[in-house]
Amino acid sequence: MTAVLDRPTTTAPRLDRVLLAVAVVMAATAVVTAVLAVVDPVQIAGRNGWLKPLKFSISIAVYALTIAWLLTLLPARRQRLGRGIAWVIAIAMAVEMAAIVGAVAAGTTSHFNVSTPFRTAVWASMGTAIAAVWLVNLLLAVLLWRSVEDPSRRLAIRAGLVIGLAGMAVAFLMTSPTADQLSDFQGIAGAHAVGVPDDGPGLPLLGWSTTGGDLRVPHFVGMHALQALPLLALGLEALRRRVPALAAPRTRFRVIAAASVGCAGLVAFLTWQALAGIPVTGFLG
């Protein structure tokens, strides 16, 4: 008889199914809310209410795919913990989107709304969900800190996670009631804009204030460093055969380092700009 020896096989880690399901559901939600924005343009705080869940669904879909990819980089012994991270994110995003879509369907706001005990509970659940996401992102950053061998890719992931955490943290600056809200409470405690009402003039679709500061700007830029920097690293790797200078790992590392510093500086500047009450368009005109 011929002995058949089992040979060890290695397979590439698969993207987490839970986060893939989140991405698919969010993609479908984006389509539905885009249609509703046209056929049922309900006005909430001076803007088409369905644009908010549309923007959130797109952002969450991209975020879920990003985290699903990052989880594949975890060592085998950390995969179970990675699945736990995926479930926390999935549940938190479900809470967030349910609150946002439900509020629009009811013709009211979701964020900062403490006008009734029920709305206060909804807002508190959203805050808890986002805090949980921030914490598991911090945990993921710790787990991945030494899990990637390529220096430029490792730096891109490290910087993307750290800057992403900073961008998420900017959201906590939005939760304090403004002076006007304290002097004339109308059931809203917190704001995106600084120095002007949230329902003032804003950029198309994004809604970022064009008359005052807006903390959504550094929040957006910081969070999406999580995609931009790793994509830059992958792009540099893909170009190394066509661009001889990029064949050297040190060169790619320096490019990522410069991009990381620039991105961090941009988030810091945009945060200062928003807190100073200067609109994102303030230096363009």
Q: Where are the domains of the chain?
A: 15-147, 151-285
User: Which segments of the chain have a pLDDT < 70?
Assistant: 1-13, 283-285
Q: pLDDT tens digits, residue range 172-202?
A: 999 888 888 888 888 888 888 898 888 788 8
Count of CB atoms situated within 10 Å of the CB of 225: 26
Q: Which two tokens stand for residue 24?
A: 């698919």
- pLDDT at position 283 is 60
From 76, 50, 66, 64, select the one nearest 19 (Cα to Cα): 64
Instruction: Give 188's strand partners.
Output: 113
Q: What is the pTM of this model?
A: 0.87
CA distance 109 to 101: 10
Radius of gyration of the chain from its Cα atoms, rounded to whole angstroms: 21
- CA atoms 158, 129, 198, 181: torsion sign: negative
- pLDDT at position 2 is 43
CA distance 141 to 162: 7
CA distance 176 to 77: 41
- pLDDT at position 5 is 41
- pLDDT at position 190 is 84
Q: Tokens 């993609």 identify what position?
A: 27
Which helix (DSSP H) or strand (DSSP E) does residue 43 occupy? strand 43-44
